[in-house]
Structure 1
């Protein structure tokens, strides 16, 4: 995983974990990788993953069971979608609209490109 400089690594890892849950790779109710396993696969310090897991636990997206490990909460998908939707609508969408306006990109252009994106990136859902 390549990390961006403008955002804390633990937040980027939380976004990665959330994406894995949304994509169904780590379904709700099932175990997610241990701190050590995830740290090794992402090539980060285990303490960073601990911080990420604590952050996600505080948001009730994951939970820990002694002796079993961490798992995605049953309602993790709803919680993640609500959080990410709010973040997108409040921070990213206004900048996106500004760019669309400045470059004279129509909603029809956007609709066409979005359809192509979904067909290529997520063909099993169309």
Structure 2
């Protein structure tokens, strides 16, 4: 996985887990990939994945069943959506708006590109809009 330099790796791993939930690849109540296996997949130290899982546990998105593994909390989707919306609105949306203003990009142009993006990238998923 290619990591961004401006954000801690454990937070990017937590985002990856959240995306798996939002894309409905991992279901509420279901077991998720082990720390060791995710570390291998992400090519990071298992301690980094542990930190991401701790972060997600604190937000009640996943839970550890000792000796069995990590599981998705039943209310995880709602919590992920709430957390990600807040994060997007506070950090990413102001940058987008600033660039739209500076580049004189009308919202209609952005809306059309957004629609095409969804069609090209998520047309075959069951994700609700």
Pick the TM interval, shorter chain.
over 0.9
CA RMSD of aligned residues (A): 1.2
CA shift at 1:26, angstroms? 1.0
Aligned match of 2:34: 34
CA shift at 1:102, angstroms? 0.8
Aligned match of 1:110: 110
Cα separation, 1, equivalents of 2:4 and 2:94: 21
Aligned match of 2:80: 80
Cα separation, 2, equivalents of 1:95 and 1:45: 32
What are the within-5 Å matches in structure 2 for residues 1-126 of structure 1?
1-124=1-124, 125=126
Aligned to 2:31, the other structure's residue is in SS state coil
CA shift at 1:67, angstroms? 2.4
Structure 1: give runs of 5+ residues left out of the alignment: none
Cα separation, 1, equivalents of 2:85 and 2:56: 16
CA shift at 1:68, angstroms? 1.7
Cα separation, 2, equivalents of 1:51 and 1:100: 36
Number of equivalent positions: 126
Structure 2: give runs of 5+ residues left out of the alignment: none
CA shift at 1:110, angstroms? 1.1
